[in-house]
Amino acid sequence: MLYLVPTPVGNLQDMTFRAIEVLKSVDLILAEDTRTSGVLLQHFDIHTPLKSHHKFNEHETSADVVERLKAGMNIALISDAGTPAISDPGFFLVRAAAEAGIEIQTLPGATAFVPALVSSGLPNNHFYFEGFLPQKKGRQTRLQYLAALDQTFIIYESPFRLVKSLEQLAAVCGVERRASVSREISKLHEETVRGTLEELIAHFKERAPKGEIVVIVEGQKSKVESNE
């Protein structure tokens, strides 16, 4: 069995009882960063062996993991925070395991974009998840594609690139497009700032953001209103 186990994006109390039970019971845990995951496992008194599985080695390690699964091992995959394969490693392993006929169970649990979307105050009956934008090649094409969507869209961003990304979004969407920025979700200094792109740019130019960030942007206003 291959288990995909979400881990907290902030507060460790967001870990589920079932996730702890699975991580204690499996033969091996695949972790994006064994140092980060080691802290989590120590906190919950989990002593299962750890093996590295991240975006730089997942192509190579997936075949070995599938062979272990076929030999009868139970293995869990976790990322540094949130649900594996959502802007994190996991897709290649899941595909390889599925093709090999391995049973896969994905536990429900933490992911950063859901609380950010719900807290944004923007329409969420339909939405588009972009994740991280390309850093260089293809970035402008993606921005123009997102600007034309008629549904709310979601972007992950680092605090160091937030203002630049908001300015680029304003250039293609217009400065009056509504958006929200959520940071440090489920942590002590959790914050959601709502407003137009112009207002958000001004806010974060004055107050340098910290922590992991989710940007929620409304779809084209005329299309959104015509659909309501």
pTM of the model: 0.89
Which domain-ending residue is among 85, 106, 127? 106
pLDDT, position 224: 46
pLDDT at 59: 83
pLDDT > 60? residue 53: yes
Dihedrals phi, psi of 29, to nearest 5 degrees: -115, 125
Tell whether 133 and 149 lie within a shared domain: yes
* Rounded mean pLDDT, 181-195: 95
**pLDDT tens readout for residues 60-102:** 889 999 999 999 999 999 999 999 999 888 999 999 999 999 9
Would you say 129 and 145 are in contact if contact means Cβ atoms under 8 Å apart?
no
| Exposed/middle/buried for residue 141 (C-beta within 10 Å: 0-12, 13-18, 19+) | exposed
Which range marks the domain in which residue 150 is found? 113-227
Q: Is 12 helix (H, G, I), strand (E, B) or coil?
A: helix
Q: What is the pLDDT of residue 226?
A: 46
Domain boundary among the residues 106, 123, 157 is at 106
Q: What percent of the chain has pLDDT above 70?
A: 97
User: 107 near 2, Cβ under 8 Å?
Assistant: no
Kindly report the length of the chain.
228
The CATH number of whichever domain residue 40 belongs to comes to 3.40.1010.10
Going by the DSSP 8-state scheme, the letter that residue 188 receives in this structure is T
126 and 204 inside one domain: yes
- How do residues 110-134 score in pLDDT, each as one tens digit? 899 999 999 999 999 999 999 999 9
The Cβ of residue 30 has, within 10 Å, a number of other Cβ atoms equal to 29
How many separate domains does the chain show? 2
* Rounded distance between C-alpha atoms, residue 218 and residue 132, angstroms: 17
126 lies in the same domain as 223: yes
115: Cα within 13 Å, side-chain hemisphere:
19
